[in-house]
Amino acid sequence: MTRLTRSRLAALLPALLLALLLLSGCSTGLKLGYDNLESLALWEVDSEIDLDDAQKAAFRTEFRALHRWHRQSQLPLYAADLRALAAAIAGNAELGAAATAAIARAEQHGEQLWAQARPGVERLLDTLSDAQIADYDRRQRKRIDKEARKHADDTLSERRADWLKDWRNSLDRWIGTLNDRQRALLDAAWESEHPLLRTPAERAAIDRARHQRLIAALATRHEPGFAARLIAGADPAEKTRSDAAQARGQQLLARLLNVADDRQRLKLKTRLLELAEDFDTLAQRGASVAVAAP
């Protein structure tokens, strides 16, 4: 996926937050990372496009406002959603259905974020020069080619191992070691899923086509309606396929959670409540800073 798509720039803050949740492994790491999201976000964007000093200053201004809004208005919503899911677990609700509902709410939060971020994204992209776009184009083509070469010789067995590892690692952080029923579900899911997966060559071709559409859209960045063209640039057939894959993933997650044992349900509930407390702390910390500011 190219990085200057809606899912990248518009959702940069939640994408970085998700990375912190998955990688930090501790409350301190999450809080430290969230408090420094502005610098992390600027580093992420600047690693893709060499921003000049004026653009960096503009980015900081835009992101600071977005970050402040997110801290004050969105983190309390996240905390409430997490506590609602934890309460459902405590009440012995069907875990898969509860998680599916929570995912739907998270997607709604993402739409709210895009609506808030979009004007700033448009203003930032409008300042990019043709030379910056050309440099970004070169970097991304190089990245896509490198990724294609890296996976060109992947065997079906290697792809299976990677797919299972991703699922198991993600689940282990939230519910602990998988039980026998969950491992059997994953094995069965792979058998039905792998014929639908793109081959490495197909993924590379899709990445190249997506990137070309993005570059074509960026060429019109100074013209009215640019943001709409940026969003509408996805290939309809590929979007349909991607949406179907996402739906299958959510269905698999629901089946895995529905056979969670008591140990796993307790760990998930505990993790959710701890994360809710972290979000509350971060939101309150932002409120304290706002009160103290002149």
Quote the Cα angle for 232-236-242, to 5°.
Answer: 105
Average pLDDT over residues 256-280: 94
In a domain, 92, yes or no: yes
CA distance 154 to 69: 43
In a domain, 257, yes or no: yes
CA distance 198 to 188: 18
In a domain, 262, yes or no: yes
CA distance 115 to 234: 19
For residue 203, what are the domain limits?
A: 6-292
Model confidence over 226-248: pLDDT tens digits? 877 777 666 788 888 888 999 99
pTM for the model stands at 0.83
Model confidence over 134-163: pLDDT tens digits? 999 999 999 999 999 999 999 999 999 999
The DSSP string of 246-270 is: HHHHHHHHHHHHHT--HHHHHHHHH
Overall domain count for the chain = 1
- For the chain, the average pLDDT equals 86
In a domain, 106, yes or no: yes
In a domain, 1, yes or no: no
The neighbour count for residue 276, using CB atoms within 10 Å, is 21
189 pLDDT higher than 90: yes
In a domain, 193, yes or no: yes
In a domain, 189, yes or no: yes
pLDDT recorded at residue 165: 95
4 pLDDT higher than 50: no
In a domain, 116, yes or no: yes
